[in-house]
Amino acid sequence: MGGWNAADIPDQTGRTHVVTGATSGLGAATARALAGAGATVIMACRNEIKAQAVAKTIDGTVQVRALDLADLASIRRFADSVEGADVLVNNAGVMAVPKSHTADGFELQIGTNFLGHFALTALLLDRIADRVVNVSSVTHHIGRIDLDDLNWERRAYSRFGAYAQSKLALLQFTTELQRRLLAAGSRKLAVAAHPGYAATDINSKTENLLESLINLGNRLIAQSSAAGALHSVYAATAAVEPGGYYGPSEWFGWSGPPGRVGTSGAARDEKTMRLLWKLAEELTGIDFPVS
């Protein structure tokens, strides 16, 4: 692949990265790339046994710690265990699964993909030295934030609609976090990335008839997990613009080397993102340390 690649990752010796969902797919590939560049990587994973097995395959310094983003109590315990880090990569997620709920009663996709990472970032921000990276998706373009029914209690449930909403929420969160950091005079960065079309486990756990089609696409046209993770690694280590969004620069955003990419108009809706921020604080019960 031309352009920026794994050989261009800046030396990460002496730096610590927290990567959520590092058990498989993009998260494991992200952890592997960062550890290979010299970083200490904290693998924040729900399944510790599986994570330990993955950690043994990674050359470099890695630590496995328990984190269930669908449980605010687990998020608090994990945050209490982290003394400090340079970068937080909010990578973990669930995609287009049947309707279910987190331990705190949130719809699973908005609860895991957005509210869990919102809470984690809020609890860790004062100990993050450099930047926060939120991993979104090209599906944010079809997302819609329903502030009156964020948890799909009144709407007819749509698996992909819920997924797209959660990934759009992550982009709005990124923009609003960067605005607040700048207003507070902080030099910390909030950036986002997306992997394009990458073959990962998340694409094959939709539990519906579309799964067979996704699996076929994974075999025929998808990038590898390592190629997809490169965009998160770029956002975590390269010289990036505050609030920037990075992903594949070729094939309509499906593949190619990392580059600055565009967002939907909804991702730039300032009124909605500020109301979403307030709602997220109310739902999680966590006040963010930047106002």
Low pLDDT (below 50) residues in the chain: 1, 203-205, 210-221
Residue 109 amino acid letter: Q
Per-residue pLDDT at 223: 73
3-state secondary structure of 16: strand
Domains and CATH numbers, the chain: 11-284 (3.40.50.720)
Active site residues: 163
Lay out the sheet containing 128-135: strands in order across: 61-66, 40-45, 16-20, 85-90, 128-135, 189-193, 245-250, 255-260
Closest by alpha carbon to 238, among 11, 2, 1?
11
Closest by alpha carbon to 142, among 18, 243, 266, 278?
266
Q: Which helix (H) or strand (E) holds 43?
A: strand 40-45
Is pTM beyond 0.85 here? Answer: yes
Per-residue pLDDT at 213: 42
Angstrom distances, CA of residue 255 to CA of 147, 211, 223, 228, 251: 33, 21, 7, 8, 6
Name 17's Cβ contacts closer than 8 Å, sequence gap at least 6: 31, 34, 39, 40, 41, 42, 85, 86, 87, 88, 89, 236
Per the CB < 8 A criterion, the answer to whether 157 and 133 are in contact is no
